[in-house]
Structure 1
Amino acid sequence: MDNHHLENRIRPVALGCRNWLFAGSLCAGQHAAVLMSLIQSAKLNGHDPYAYSKDVMDRLPTQPAQRIGELLPHRWQPQSISA
């Protein structure tokens, strides 16, 4: 039996564990966890993590508070570019 696929899937987590010990503070560690969760959720929903992050960061300052849920990975739709 071969478990290389599984090992490759968990490698980023295993390598990151040592680095995450030095987040700087509890608050910084919590912020990092939120960002990593959003990125992984975007991947699981079939989105390009960079495109998702860039679009959300561009739209976040003008997004109404009652519509903030539209920016979550499972509901996100790329903003259409009108010419």
Structure 2
Amino acid sequence: MRPWALGRKNWLVAGSLRIGQRAANIMPLIQSVKLNRLDPYAYLSDVLKRLPTLKVTQIEELLPHRWKPNSN
């Protein structure tokens, strides 16, 4: 809870409404990654590399609870 309370004042000056909305979209994903005991950097790095080549039907494989690191 403490990081959220400390960040609350910082997020008030995110820079613009758009940046605040982007942060609000990504934060739950990062928290979900942490709850699944994954490294957020490794997860995001792998997902962002795979995303452009995935088919729409494969998107669910990238969810934090189903993600497996790329074997390459």
Shorter-chain TM-score tier: 0.7 to 0.9
Which residue of 69, 76, 80 maps to 2:60? Answer: 69
What SS does structure 2 have at the residue aligned with 1:80? coil
CA RMSD of aligned residues (A): 1.3
Instruction: Specify the alignment match of 1:24 in structure 2.
Output: 15
TM-score (norm 2): 0.86
Question: Percent identity of the aligned residues?
Answer: 62
State the alpha-carbon separation in 2 of the partners of residues 75 and 43 from structure 1: 13
Deviation at 1:23, TM superposition (A): 2.2
State the alpha-carbon separation in 1 of the partners of residues 64 and 24 from structure 2: 15
State the alpha-carbon separation in 1 of the partners of residues 51 and 9 from structure 2: 32
Q: Which runs of 5+ in 1 are unaligned?
A: 1-9
Q: Which runs of 5+ in 2 are unaligned?
A: none
What SS does structure 2 have at the residue aligned with 1:31? helix
For 1:56, the aligned partner's letter is: V
Instruction: Specify the alignment match of 1:4 in structure 2.
Output: none
User: After superposition, where does 1:1-83 map in structure 2 within 5 Å?
Assistant: 10-81=1-72
TM-score (norm 1): 0.76
Q: Which consecutive aligned stretches of 4+ in structure 1 deviate over 3 angstroms post-superposition?
A: none
